[in-house]
Chain A
Amino acid sequence: DVKVTQSSRYLVKRTGEKVFLECVQDMDHENMFWYRQDPGLGLRLIYFSYDVKMKEKGDIPEGYSVSREKKERFSLILESASTNQTSMYLCASIPSWDSENNEQFFGPGTRLTVL
C-alpha cells in the first residue's frame, strides 16, 4: 500500500513564526502536492513538484514556499505565519503518468492553527 505521511496531525503556532510541514511518501512517486482545505472552498493547490528540486506554483502560493531535496520528501514552509493561514493542509503524491493509475494518494492532513 502507498503511504503518505505528514509530520503532525495538529499544530499550533504564533503569528510571525516560521512553520515547516513535512510530507513523506514511500512509493517512489515523482509528483507531490500541497493543498489547503477550507470549509466551502474545497481543496486548493498551493505548490507542487514533479521532480527533486523542481517546484511549480499552484493556485494560491502567496505566503508559502516549498522544498524538495529528496524524492520522497516534500516540505511546505510558511515563512511568517499569519492567522489567515489557519487551515487543514493536505499532502498528496502520484506516480509518473499512467492512464490506468492516475490516482493521487493523500496524507492524513495537518490541522494548523495560527494564533
Chain B
Amino acid sequence: AQTVTQSQPEMSVQEAETVTLSCTYDTSESNYYLFWYKQPPSRQMILVIRQEAYKQQNATENRFSVNFQKAAKSFSLKISDSQLGDTAMYFCAFMTSIVPLNDYKLSFGAGTTVTVRA
C-alpha cells in the first residue's frame, strides 16, 4: 500500500474563515489520483475533490480547493468560507492509475477531524 500521511489529527476553525489540511504521500509512480473524502458525524463518506497527477491545474469544487505539489508529494485541501456543515473527518487518499492491474484500491491517511465553530 502507498503511504499517505495526514499530520494534523484535529483542526478547529471559526465559521466563515479558511482552514487548510495537509497531506503528503509516497509513491514512485508518475501518474496517479489523489482524493479528499469527507465523513460527517454518523454519516456516509463522500468525495469532496479529486486530482489527477498529470493535470497541472489544481482542482476546485466550490469552496474546496487543493494545492497539489507533485515534486514535494504534497496535496493540501483548503476549505474557504467554512460552514457548520463542513464539520467532519477528512481523509486524504491515493489511487494508482496502473489500469492493467485492475487496481482501484485506495490508500488512506489517518484523517483530520475538522470542527467549525459558530
Contacts and interface: CB of A to CB of B under 8 A. Distances in A.
Interface in A40-78: 40-45, 48, 50, 58-59
A92 B45 CA distance: 10
Contact of A103 (B50, B97, B108, B111): B50
Interface string A70-109: 0000000000000000000010101001010011101111
A35 B1 CA distance: 13
Interface string B1-38: 10010100100000000000000000000000101010
B1 A45 contact: yes
B7 to A, nearest CB: 12
A58 B52 CA distance: 23
B105 to A, nearest CB: 6
A86 to B, nearest CB: 18
A7 to B, nearest CB: 15
Given A43-B91, A99-B52, A102-B33, A48 B9 contact: no
A30 B1 CA distance: 21
Contact of B105 (A41, A58, A90, A103): A58
B95 to A, nearest CB: 6
* Size bin of chain A's contact surface: 20 to 34
Interface residues of B, number: 27
Contacts of A103: 35, 47, 50
Given A45-B1, A99-B97, A102-B95, A108 B108 contact: no
Interface of A: 31, 33, 35, 40-45, 48, 50, 58-59, 90, 92, 94, 97, 99, 102-104, 106-109
B104 A102 contact: yes
**9 closest A-B pairs by CB:** A106-B45, A42-B108, A43-B108, A42-B110, A103-B47, A50-B102, A59-B1, A94-B104, A108-B44
B71 interface: no
A42 B1 contact: no
Nearest to A58: B105
B104 A41 contact: no
B102 A104 contact: no
Nearest to A93: B104
Nearest to B1: A59
